[in-house]
Each structure stands twice: as C-alpha cells, then as structure tokens.
Structure 1
C-alpha cells in the first residue's frame, strides 16, 4: 500500500465515532501518518499539525466534509457519531445555513475527495521537509568533493609563469645574438668597401657613414632589447601576482 492509500485509510479510521483524537493517533495503525506529519511517535504534535493543516485549507464543501468527518473546528461537534454528523451537515431543515446544503451521498463523495486531497497535501509537505533536511548535507558533501578534485587539478601557476618568463628571456637573448652577428657582418662588409684600392673618396665616405649608422643601430638594438627584457620581467611579475590574487579570491569565495 502506498503512502496516499495508507493516509486515506487512517482518515477513514479516525473519522469513526467521535472523530480525530490524540488517543486514536497513538494507535500503531496511524504511525505512518505521524511520520508523514513530521511528528513521529508524538501523537499530541501530530494532532495539532493535522488540525492546523485542515483548518488552513480553503473553505469549500469538500473541506467542510473533511472537517465534519474528523470533527475539526469550533463549529463541528461529535453528535454521537459519524452518521449523525453527516445527517446534521445536510439537514434540509436548516436550508442554506446547513454546513453542506446537499444530500448525504454528495457529502460522502466530498468526504472521499477531501481525504485524497488532504493525503496528497501531507505527502507534498513531507517531501519538501525531506529535501530541506537532506539538501544541506548533500551540498556539504558536494563541496568537499569539489575541493578535493580542485586541489588535484589545480594548475601550477608558478611553473607556467616561470616557463613563459624563460621563453621570453630566451627570445631576448636570441635577438641580442642576432644584433651582434648583424653588427659584425656590417663591420666586415663596410671595412671591405673602404679597403678597396680603387674605391673613390665618395664611396669611402658613404661606407664610413653607413658603418657608423649600422653601429649606432646595433647599440640602440642592444639597449632596447635589454629594456624589453626588463619590461617583460615586470609584466611577468605583474601577471604572476594577478593570477595568485585571483586564485586566492576564488578559493576564499568557494570556501566561504
């Protein structure tokens, strides 16, 4: 028997004679009802919760049928038993002032429908309570697993930055070597031009000026490469600091 059928069976048992009472709820047959109400082995608390739930339902003939069957509400009396209460609720002599101005058969139909709706409402609230109680523990377990996996997969930022820094330094040294080779080649070439015996004075002057220009370019290139190397180191340090701060901020956000 599923929970809905079990709860409906409890309601049908509780409606007999004087309706819902704490003493009846202590019966083992209603243990599941107390559990679903969140009042396991606490009949008094279960009585209060069930009563409050029924009274919180929107007023309708269906709700009135449930209240009359279980004797819930100040306007409902035991009246000797279930059949007497049903007869009073549909008493034609009371006219429109009757609790349920319908016939007895309709009252029973409303009653059955109301028990089903009440059972579903209790099941829905029980599910919500269960999720509320379980979710924090599941979240804590998820965070622990996430942190463990994050520590395993955390990139080695220092090693990555160090590798990039070394590659940039190597590129700078290669540039310096290239300038040296180019400068030496220029010296040799222009020395050859000047040393030619048949070279005119104009050609020698042009070669001398060109050689001086190449040497100046060579010196400026060496100095510029040194500055770029220093600037690259500064950029690398800034990137390393930014990465570290960002990583620490992410860790703090997740840990909190």
Structure 2
C-alpha cells in the first residue's frame, strides 16, 4: 500500500483490468470518491494486467475474466506465479461459474459479481487488500453446488494424509462454505480454536488462503452437492 502523510492511513493501490472502458470508468469514479483506495493503473487486456501488476506493484488487481487474447484466468495464473505481490479479485457474472472456478484454481483471492452494489465492491477490495479471502459462504455454496456433481480429481493436488481427523472435519466445513463462527458452533469449539485449525490446514496443505482450501476440499472429493 502507498504511503501517505504522517498519521494518515495507507491507501490501497488498485489496478483495474477490464476490456470494457465504461466498466473501468465506473469503478474508477467510485474508487476516486474514497479516501483509502487509489486506482494506479488500468488494463484492457490480460497481457496489460500482468505487466502493470509487475511494474506498478498494486495491492489488488480487479480482473475481468473475459478479455481478448490472454483471458483473466491466464492473467491471474501468471500474476500468482510471478514476482508481483498483488492479490487478484476476478470480476464475474453468475453465468461465468466455469470461469470462476478456474480463476480460483489459478490463484485468485476471490471474486466480485458485476451486479453487486458499488459499496460491496469497495468492501471486497478492502477485504482482499488486508490479506483475507473474498469468498462469502453463500457464494461458496453456489460454487460447490455447481461443481460437486462433476467427477472428482482422481488424485488430489495436495495429499491429505498429514492432517488429523479433526482438521479434515474443519476442511469439509470450510469447503461447504461455513464461516469460522459456524464451524465453531457445528463442532462445539470456540471461534479462536476454529481459527487455529484453519491456520494449521493452511500450513499443512500449503494453501494461500481460505479460497484455496475450498478448492482443495472439492478436488479431494470431501465436499459434495448433498452436504
């Protein structure tokens, strides 16, 4: 995040990547009215988004999925695998579910829906900039419902042999879209203990965030549409 005057809060540096100039203009205008978010660059293609993520070192890249040439999923994957430290949030519509799942696997920290209220989009940018995952329980459940009916990956990308039975229980609940408070209530533990289990899972499975745990749970076949 950029430095401000002494005593001032740091601004969240954002790159907007969308091939529709009107979408970028609308987002830029609403972000310009905030005191804590600065748009430092705009990209109309995936290639430009990757370049700006490296050159401008933003905190967040708001990434459209459908762009000419290098699409948002491919751009997200390159940013996640490269030297850039930006968190990527993909922009989607609810008929883009296939793309959303691909973006999460590519390393996106979450996603925003294009018809969300502007204040919700701003809140999402702040959540991701703080290092948290933007994957609301209700949206998680929608993704699981859409994808759980598909054949599970034969061998999960990360072995689950290192986790305990209790940690596996927590992973199933995370994958089902439950919040820490809901997990604590379900397992009759404190929220702090639920957070501890989550931290252990992230470390043991080499996951970046809660979003990736959801993907792992799905790929391992731990979450089904019946849950």
Normalising by the residue count of structure 1, what TM-score does the alignment of the two structures yield? 0.23
Based on CA coordinates, which of the two structures has the bigger radius of gyration? Answer: 1
Looking at secondary structure, tell me which structure has more helix per residue. Answer: 1
Normalising by the residue count of structure 2, what TM-score does the alignment of the two structures yield? 0.25
